[in-house]
Amino acid sequence: MGGLSIHWLRQGNLWMAYSRGDHNFVADPRGMKIAWYRETPGRLRVSGSRLDAKAPPLKAEITYGYGTIGFQVSALTFSSPGCWKVVAHLIHGAQTRTYDFYIRVAAH
């Protein structure tokens, strides 16, 4: 997975990376590609909100078809720059694991 990106964030058994062409998370109306790596099984759901000001929640588009463990791709769209809490849920049967990521989103 290291060849995909040098920018990785880890929370428990879930890894979050942004593409190697990006130097930080950006507020871009086209969104940005985010790769995930799941060490434990689960279907990924992502939500998020800005912590330092009012803003619409982030939009997450998740491409399914990667199975329930390992690599997963998504696109996240942040409505504005600032401090964001991104919440990822791995849903596996009746069990849900929740992972919180705190990130700074820059202007595009």
Domain residue ranges of the chain, discontinuous segments joined by +: 8-107
Domain 8-107 fold is Immunoglobulin-like (2.60.40)
Residue 98's region, left for phi above 0, alpha for psi from -120 to 50, else beta, is beta
Tens-digit pLDDT profile for the chain (108 aa)?
A: 445 556 788 888 999 987 655 667 888 888 888 889 999 999 999 999 999 999 999 999 998 888 999 999 999 999 999 999 999 999 999 999 999 999 989 887
CB under 8 Å to 50, separation ≥6 — which residues?
78, 79, 80, 82, 83, 84
